[in-house]
Chains A and B, each alone.
Chain A
């Protein structure tokens, strides 16, 4: 039974840890499916986290914080669009620039506004998103197996967690069941086909980037307003890049993206859990090894196991019709 509880706990933290990855991964899915590579997921999450925590602590409202996180993150997505869609700049360069601006400006503004070494003030309970307890939790808690699963795994997360997982079927539906999704996928494969079909390539790509901005905003808000009680500098800690790896891993498909992010979340949870605990046969494993595992895994899996990941064909190439 102890092992069972331990597993449930690891799975529970798997969910918590995969949420920011999942949101960022789906964010990247919108823009990359539309043919715009976005290495700036990291930066947009970071500004989202900062704006969310800052606004929440100033206005004492979690929802205003979330709104601000989304707004600022979308603004950064539009900057990326302006550089790479309107001005046909290099998408990687623009994305990297956004990451730098995000890292620098959040610390600078944080220090200027709050004087806490780049942090935002610790958020009070009403300024964060609290865990939601599902009905009947207490009643079933005692029931073996189902009890812990319901009360620990399913219940007891913040609203953003549920939103993140609902975004998976929603994104799938948008992409494969709506007109917008059809056009979005088309523009990532062959923008000239979209153009000659009488649809504006630029406007379509901008809309995709707005979707990206919204989701990275929510991801950022989750980091600073759910996982943590405030903004800490560089708190995204490479999650934007892992999300990109997960996206490739998932071959740009929403449901796959969820499993990829859960896998990375699981490895993360495992590494935290196993810190300092000796493993049978192997003995004590250095923390660094466990932390490196997701990246090692990405390389190994991408190199051989998942087959060829074919990105959207027009990805990374600005659309030019008159050269």
Chain B
């Protein structure tokens, strides 16, 4: 019988009225990769934060390697060989990689010695696990994929035998994710134990040995990965059957709603991010922009929605130009029927310190529906928020809760609900389902298609190829700032993948 690396027995945790974890029992076998899946707000991050000593359980017992363990602070967890890569990275942005790695685990009171020691150890770890990062690079200058490596290195440097990763692939490109999985497999071969939280069931099937499913704070099932299917997991998570691919009819494209012509955008360093891009978006269709993250999609979105300066080109909304100086009035664009769900909802889409109902009308607070004379009509706002909460199944269903206290996926739903319920003529969405669970993905996809069927124009940018393929009526592939191809929804994954890697383009050039 394989030995348990970790046993959680009867764990309970409440945040105020929210019971994030109820009576959780979980056993994680040493030397395996154990997946945890569950809806947004199911309590996955909370459970793992308890194991890591970041939160304290209200009741329950933790055993590590068979021994009862009292984990009161992350320090206790680290001492027991537990390391964690958090959903939102815990790095000091303006420190170097080395400084971040040694923080809290310095071998000496003077930095010089600690750093010298850490440097050789870090180099060994980097070589051993293929986790190459420049030890002297500053964190904020590194792409997210590398930042995540630093988090893993931090854990390994502290001698972690058990590594918890909370939604590590949410921010990674497919290639980066593949690399991460190779590393995780290697860790497993070395006898380490890995706990992996993810919403991507395909990843669970590909890499885990065992998978546990959480729903609304409880642990509902644990399965051997070999003996389960994506469909079963999805059903266990949501408690009903889920359509992994939403049905949709033929698009009936109408007149041009949004016309982008020769748009060129440079970033602050003067590097061309969007290079002479032109396309039309028609009423009644969904156009998907596929591409590996960082190929200009974000900049394209921002330029079209008027928040980023474009060097040249034009964007016409219903035949009238949009101000491309980067200083467009977002309120005016909203009035003209352009809604925008930004990619980075945490920073751009929400005021985390506000109550949910306030965020659910943010930007539309001038709408007469929410006003009583010159004042906000609080009752109307709250009722409106409650409707959206019911419709989009936002949990917990409390419109007075501070937005920061919603789980990552539920925060996404708050923004989506706000923008989609305004019934805009043109909807621009960046990463519609990043960090969102399968049940919610199904719902969001259905809503987007319903909008299309009502004759709205929808532009979707996503790094998830599956999502692009199941939603779009036309697919534009972006590579190095250019649109390198247009395909129909029937295009194969392989074909799109090649385009995204820029292969076709090179052949054409030859």
Contact B74 A196 (CB under 8 A): yes
How many angstroms between the C-alpha atoms of A322 and B103 in the bound complex?
A: 23
What's the minimum C-beta distance from B314 to chain A, rounded to whole angstroms?
A: 33
Question: Which chain B residue has the least Cβ–Cβ distance from A197?
Answer: B104
Which residues does chain B contribute within 8 Å of A183, judged by CB atoms?
Answer: 103-104
Given contacts A193-B100, A321-B54, A323-B15, contact A179 B402 (CB under 8 A): no
Is A322 in contact with B55, judged by CB distance below 8 angstroms? yes
Q: By the criterion CB–CB under 8 Å, are B103 and A182 in contact?
A: yes
Closest to A193 in B: B90
Asked whether B109 lies within 8 Å of A193 as measured between CB atoms, the reply is no
B379 to A: closest C-beta gap in Å: 26
Q: A192-B90, A323-B404 are in contact. Are A177 and B111 (CB under 8 A)?
A: yes
A198 touches B104 (CB 8 A): yes
How many A-B pairs have beta carbons closer than 8 Å: the answer is 79
* A190 touches which of B55, B84, B90, B102 (Cβ 8 Å): B90
User: Within residues 153 to 207 of chain A, which ones have a CB less than 8 A from any CB in chain B?
Assistant: 176-183, 185-186, 189-190, 192-200
Q: Is B95 interfacial (CB-CB < 8 Å)?
A: yes
Q: How many angstroms between the C-alpha atoms of A192 and B55 in the bound complex? A: 12
Enumerate chain B residues within 8 angstroms of A192, measured Cβ to Cβ: 90
A179 with B84: CB separation less than 8 A: no
Chain A neighbourhood of B114, CB < 8 A: 179
C-alpha spacing A200/B53, complex, angstroms: 12
Q: Which of B94, B105, B108, B404 contacts A197 (CB 8 A)?
A: B105
A320 and chain B: residue at smallest CB distance:
B404
Tell me the bound Cα distance from A319 to B244 in angstroms: 40
Q: Distance in Å from the Cβ of B415 to the closest Cβ of chain A?
A: 19
A313 is an interface residue with CB less than 8 A from chain B = yes
Interface string of B73-104 (1 = CB under 8 A from A): 11101100000101000111111000110111
* Residue contact B111 to A182, C-beta cutoff 8 Å: yes
Q: Is the CB of B74 within 8 A of A197?
A: yes
Q: Is B106 an interface residue (CB 8 A)?
A: yes
- A323 and B105 within 8 A (CB): no
For A230-260 the 0/1 string (1 means CB < 8 A from B) is: 0000000000000000000000000000000
Question: Is B103 a contact partner of A194 (Cβ separation < 8 A)?
Answer: yes
Asked if residues B90 and A196 are in contact (CB atoms below 8 Å), the reply is: yes
Docked CA distance A185–B108 (Å):
17
B106→A190 contact, CB < 8 A: no
Q: Which residues of B contact A177 (CB under 8 A)?
A: 110-112
Q: Scan B313-350; emit 1 where CB is below 8 A from any A CB, else 0.
A: 00000000000000000000000000000000000000
B479 located at the interface, meaning its Cβ lies under 8 Å from any Cβ of chain A in the complex: no
Q: For residue A186, which residues in chain B have a CB less than 8 angstroms away from its CB?
A: 92, 95, 99, 103
B461 to chain A minimum Cβ distance, whole angstroms, is 29
* B55 lies within 8 A of A321 (CB): yes
**B470 interface residue, CB < 8 Å from A?**
no
Query: Complex formed: what's the CA distance from A192 to B84 in Å?
Result: 13
The residue on B at minimum CB distance from A181 is B111
Q: Pick the residue among A185, A200, A323 that contacts B402 (CB under 8 A).
A: A323
Smallest beta-carbon distance A147→chain B, Å? 41
Q: Are the CB atoms of A193 and B15 closer together than 8 Å?
A: no
- Chain B neighbourhood of A321, CB < 8 A: 54-55
What string of 1s and 0s marks CB contacts (under 8 Å) between B48-82 and chain A? 00001011000000000000000001110110000
For B74, the chain A residues whose CB sits under 8 A away are: 195-198
Chain B proximity of A251: nearest CB distance (Å): 12
The size bracket of the interface on A is 20 to 34
Number of chain B residues close to chain A: CB under 8 A = 34
Decide yes or no whether B405 CB sits under 8 A from chain A: yes
Q: Please, which residues of chain A bring their CB within 8 A of the CB of B104?
A: 183, 194, 197-199
Residues of chain A within 8 A of B52, CB atoms compared = 196
A196 to chain B: which residues have CB within 8 Å? 52, 54, 74, 84, 86, 90
Please measure, in the bound complex, the distance between the C-alpha atom of A47 and the C-alpha atom of B405, giving whole angstroms: 41
**B100 nearest CB neighbor, chain A only:** A193
CB distance from B312 to the nearest CB of A (A): 29
Residues of B within 8 A of A194 (CB): 103-104
- Residues in A with CB closer than 8 Å to B106 are 179, 182
For B114, the closest partner residue in chain A by CB is A179
A200–B52 Cα distance when bound, in Å, is 15
Candidates B55, B73, B86, B111; contact of A198 at CB < 8 Å: B73
Closest chain A CB from B32 CB (angstroms): 24
B84 touches A189 (CB 8 A): no
Q: Using A195-B74, A196-B52, A323-B15 as known contacts, say yes or no to A189 and B90 having CB atoms under 8 A apart.
A: no
8 Å CB contacts to A: which residues of B1-24?
Answer: 15
A275 to chain B, nearest CB (A): 45
Interface 1/0s, chain B 397-424, versus A by CB < 8 A?
A: 0000010110000000000000000000
B407 CB → nearest A CB, Å: 12
Residues of A within 8 A of B102 (CB): 182
A318–B318 alpha-carbon span in the complex (Å)? 47
- Tell me the bound Cα distance from A199 to B75 in angstroms: 7
Closest to B91 in A: A193
- For the complex, give the distance between the alpha carbons of A275 and B238 in Å: 80
State A297–B86 Cα separation when bound (angstroms): 45
B110 interface neighbour in A178, A189, A322, Cβ under 8 Å = A178
Q: What separation, in Å, do the CA atoms of A238 and B99 have in the docked complex?
A: 38
CB distance from B55 to the nearest CB of A (A): 6
Q: What is the CB-to-nearest-CB distance from B93 to chain A, in angstroms, rounded to a whole number?
A: 7
A182 to chain B, nearest CB (A): 6
Would you give the 0/1 interface string for B103-141, flagging 1 where the beta carbon is closer than 8 Å to chain A?
Answer: 111101111101000000000000000000000000000
**Chain B contacts for A200, CB-based, 8 A:** 73
Bound CA–CA A177/B86 (angstroms):
28
Tell me if A322 and B15 are in contact (CB < 8 A).
yes
Contacts of B86 in A (CB 8 A): 196
The smallest C-beta distance from A205 to any residue of chain B, in angstroms, reads 15
Do B15 and A190 touch across chains, with their CB atoms under 8 A apart?
A: no
Contacts of B103 in A (CB 8 A): 182-183, 186, 193-194, 197, 199
Inter-subunit contact B92/A189 (CB<8 Å): yes
| Residues on the A chain within 8 Å of B84, using CB | 196
Give the nearest-CB partner of B103 in chain A. Answer: A197
A176 to chain B: closest residue by CB? B111
Q: How far is the CA of A217 from the CA of B73 in the complex (A)?
A: 34
Chain B residue, CB-CB nearest to A188: B92
Alpha-carbon separation in the docked complex, A196 to B82 (Å): 12
Residue from the list A189, A193, A198, A322 in contact with B75, Cβ < 8 A: A198
Is A190 in contact with B109, judged by CB distance below 8 angstroms? Answer: no
**Other 13 A-B pairs with CB < 8 A, given A186-B99, A194-B104, A196-B86:** A176-B111, A179-B106, A179-B111, A181-B111, A190-B93, A193-B91, A193-B103, A194-B103, A196-B90, A197-B103, A198-B73, A198-B74, A313-B93
Q: Could you jot down 18 A-B contacts, CB within 8 Å? A: A178-B110, A178-B111, A179-B109, A182-B102, A182-B103, A183-B104, A185-B95, A186-B103, A189-B92, A190-B93, A193-B90, A193-B100, A196-B52, A197-B103, A197-B105, A198-B78, A323-B404, A323-B405
A residues apposed to B, CB below 8 Å: 176-183, 185-186, 189-190, 192-200, 313, 321-323
Interface, chain B (partner A; CB < 8 A): 15, 52, 54-55, 73-75, 77-78, 84, 86, 90-95, 99-100, 102-106, 108-112, 114, 154, 402, 404-405
Smallest CB-CB A-B distances: 7 pairs? A197-B104, A198-B75, A193-B90, A179-B106, A196-B90, A198-B74, A189-B92
